[in-house]
Chain A
Amino acid sequence: KAGVTQTPRYLIKTRGQQVTLSCSPISGHRSVSWYQQTPGQGLQFLFEYFSETQRNKGNFPGRFSGRQFSNSRSEMNVSTLELGDSALYLCASSIGLAGSVDEQFFGPGTRLTVL
């Protein structure tokens, strides 16, 4: 079974631009969660999508948004980029059924650099 894939792996943008990151979960997984990893703030939860609906949301400004498609692939978008958005963005997929605590499998991440 193929693992979680994230594209692109590396991205360089300038302040004020917007960016879209993509995550393809493991086949059969319906939950996709996104995390931001920075040296200063560590790993922080952005949001989770399940069956095309946002199920949970972290404490990030509205510039951070996401969506999920019918094939469970997910995208996250960051608008009006700031220098502080430079980070490794990780996505994790799981089967995600309510009431079950199944393993979350992480992708390799997208390294975003904002200049």
Chain B
Amino acid sequence: AQTVTQSQPEMSVQEAETVTLSCTYDTSESDYYLFWYKQPPSRQMILVIRQEAYKQQNATENRFSVNFQKAAKSFSLKISDSQLGDAAMYFCAYRTGTASKLTFGTGTRLQVTL
């Protein structure tokens, strides 16, 4: 069974600084996708970034980028120039290419301080 592990329950970063959230996963599949979702206090889950396992290049979306290490099964999220609006729960998630079921990690609560 596929599992997703987030070992950092909470992280804190100062405004304008950079923070990295960790995620590891376990799978025997070759065709899979990885995601980072953000869940602010309003509770609505928002997709931050996605990575296709077959792509070697790390995905980037504005201030958000990932470090995808396929052999190590590691998928970390880097947030640059952190903003107060980045404060939220961040979930790492996995799915295969054939089923839409998302398997989530336990989440990392990110605090952004002035």
The contact string, 1 if C-beta is below 8 Å from chain B, for chain A 98-113, is: 1101011111110000
The reply to whether the CB of B42 lies closer than 8 angstroms to some CB of chain A is yes
| Among B37, B44, B46, B101, contact of A58 (Cβ-Cβ < 8 Å) | B101
Interface of A is mostly: strand
Minimum Cβ distance to chain B for residue A60 (Å): 12
Which residues on the A side are within 8 Å of B50 (C-beta)? 103
Output the nearest chain B residue to A42 by Cβ-Cβ distance: B106
Min Cβ gap A39→B in Å is 10
Residue of B nearest to A106 (CB): B45
The residues of A with any CB-CB pair to B shorter than 8 Å are 31, 33, 35, 42-43, 45, 48, 55-56, 58, 88, 90, 92, 94, 96, 98-99, 101, 103-109
B residues near A (Cβ < 8 Å) are 33, 37, 42-47, 50, 52, 91, 95, 97-107
